[in-house]
Structure 1
Amino acid sequence: MFRTAFTGGTRMARLGVRYQSTESPSATSALSFKKHLRQRRFGPPPAVRKPTVEDAVSNILYNTPTPMDGPPTRHILNCLVQNEPGVLSRLSGILAARGFNIESLVVANTEVPDLSRMTMVFNGRDTQIEQARRQLEDMVPVWAVLDYTTTKLVERELLLVKVSILGPEHLHEQMPTAKFDQSVDFADENIAHASSSSQKTLNPSDTLRETFSHLRALTELTRLFDGKVVDVSSDSVVVELSAKPGRIDSFIKLCKPFGILEASRTGVMAMPRAPVHDHSDLQAADDDDDDAVDLTMLPPG
């Protein structure tokens, strides 16, 4: 019995593992013992080869994750198309198939009789926009597709808005759909009539004075936005405004307290700005051209 214990202890000593009692084994010693047995059974772990320059370059080129696409941005495409039937539906179908929601679309003739200019504004990612632009260029009636997203532009949009001058309390009566909205119950009509009769009726002169103040405020607001009043009636005015889309939105927000009856917007029309050349730079370029030597006029050798 003592021989068996001594033989086991000698074997444990040969393996280089510190012997401990089986009653309170240590986790660290057990893991080290298993690791030592595995090394004796399977041999030492293979040496890791140092990466070469080719391996490092291949890892950078092929294992680097592609950058994530940013949020959708606003894009403006200008298409020069042949003036023929069905072009608009085909171009809009290509964009609809890719999931683009067209915010603005303006199509009109150009100075050339058979050529039309189409300006489209929509939101999307850069890679998807480039694919759609190439697909639009492959169409037969399309001459060219220009991306004005990063170009300095002159953007204009025309707005025609009809605004009430009687006040927001009379807005429902002035709406075009007011005559079709007659589904009020008889009891409700009696209640409304009783409440209106209990209120103090306004003097016609007060109503006229209030209407005139609204008209003057709208005229001043239109003048500040460089617009003009194109029609005046007893209860509303029609304002014409040509400006940037953001300025159009601001004007509509300011007109809402008066009461907007109708509004019509044409959409964005864009044209790139012409570059401004400095006169000194042009003069320097001309001087450089004059100093250049024509090699064809030199003698041989």
Structure 2
Amino acid sequence: MARPGTSILVRHSSSSSTSAISYKRSHPHKRHPALSSEYLYPAAPSAEEAVSNILYNTPPGGQGRTKQRHIFNCLVQNEPGVLSRVSGILAGRGFNIDSLVVAKTEVADLSRMTIVLKGESTTIEQARRQLEDLVPVWAVLDYTGFKVIQRELLLIKVSILGPEHVRAQMKSRNPSWQMVEESEEEMTPSNALRQTYGHLKSLTELAKLFQGKVVDVSGDCAVIELSAKPDRIDSFIKLVKPFGILEAARSGMMAMPRSPIYDRHESEEDEEAQDSGSGVDATMLPPG
């Protein structure tokens, strides 16, 4: 003898399966139209279309710039007052110094000063000669137009709460969930926590793309360290600006010329080429 509940369960399952089959018959599955051959196998663009696309996506160049950026590398005596004298000469000529970095070298009495400024080439040359006349200055090297290695250090503090909370973060250091509750959008603490760590993950991946790293994390912000070229640092700042920048500190550009690569076979081959010439014996040529 079967239990009373068994027959009821079987009837319910059979009725539900029957209703499901009838529902499928009354509502057939809609098939999407097949993709056309033009979508699957697009035609190759013509030369005119390709050139137009390249010209349209090429950013405009800086041909209209009258002032060129100059990089000075000053080797100065390590004594007090050198920095003020060097900057005073440049300020007296009306130059706006973009960056200035001073640090000791491997020699105890020698310091290296890297100056980046913009101006006319003739005026810059006069300023360079005037800097060389200073007593504590050993040499002034102009790296403009040379292949140099440029690096700049950036420490930037970015919000992980979102751009709508940046103003509140600058005024106070409340926990993230309190800031979210005070905003217009009502969010639970769990959703706010997910959003916070989502922003942190995005910032971490973005820093890895620029070969940077996150050096400090708190409940509402993160500090990223990046060492790269000045142009690359400018691009990184533009990309993290939508997250909300709380603080940013840049060290200024440091430059060092690249070392040339010499081939020991190059000089021998050049001498052999000069000796061989065109392969014609010079004694067989007419005079004159």
**TM-score normalised according to structure 2 size:** 0.67
- Give 1:110's aligned residue: 105
CA distance in 1 between counterparts of 2:235 and 2:242 reads 13
| Gap regions ≥5 residues in structure 2 | 1-64, 173-181, 274-288
Shift of 1:282: 4.2
Shift of 1:169: 1.3
Q: Deviations over 1:182-240 (max 9, x none)?
A: xxxxxxxxxxxxxx69x552111100110011001000000000001111111111100
- Give 2:252's aligned residue: 267
Shift of 1:286: 8.9
Matched, 1:222 2:207: yes
Matches within 5 A, 1:173-188: 173-175=168-170, 178=171
Q: Deviations over 1:109-158 (max 9, x none)?
A: 00000000000000010110110010000110000000000111000000
CA distance in 1 between counterparts of 2:146 and 2:244 reads 37
- Give 2:66's aligned residue: 71
- Give 2:216's aligned residue: 231
Shift of 1:284: 3.9
- Give 2:76's aligned residue: 81
- Give 1:98's aligned residue: 93
Aligned-partner SS, 2:126: helix
Letter paired with 1:132: A
- Give 1:124's aligned residue: 119
Shift of 1:88: 0.4
Q: Deviations over 1:74-115 (max 9, x none)?
A: 000010000111100001000011010000000000000000
Letter paired with 1:270: A
CA distance in 2 between counterparts of 1:89 and 1:214 reads 44
Aligned-partner SS, 2:243: coil
Greater shift in the superposed pair: 257-266 or 279-288:
279-288
Q: Deviations over 1:159-194 (max 9, x none)?
A: 00000101111111211xx15xxxxxxxxxxxxxxx
Aligned-partner SS, 1:257: helix
* 1:204 aligns with one of 185, 189, 196: 189
- Give 1:243's aligned residue: 228
Shift of 1:279: 3.6
Aligned length in residues: 202
Aligned-partner SS, 1:234: coil
**Over aligned residues, Cα RMSD in angstroms?**
2.1
CA distance in 2 between counterparts of 1:123 and 1:233 reads 39
CA distance in 2 between counterparts of 1:286 and 1:128 reads 42
CA distance in 2 between counterparts of 1:140 and 1:284 reads 46
Matched, 1:136 2:121: no
- Give 2:237's aligned residue: 252
CA separation of 1:204 and 1:87: change in aligned 2, threshold 3 A? same
CA distance in 1 between counterparts of 2:130 and 2:138 reads 12
Shift of 1:276: 1.3
Letter paired with 2:245: I
* 1:152 aligns with one of 125, 144, 147: 147
Aligned-partner SS, 2:83: helix
Letter paired with 1:134: R
CA separation of 1:110 and 1:286: change in aligned 2, threshold 3 A? farther
Which protein is bigger by CA-based radius of gyration? Answer: 1
Letter paired with 2:205: E
- Give 1:16's aligned residue: none
CA separation of 1:74 and 1:200: change in aligned 2, threshold 3 A? closer
Letter paired with 2:224: V
CA separation of 1:173 and 1:72: change in aligned 2, threshold 3 A? same
Letter paired with 1:275: P
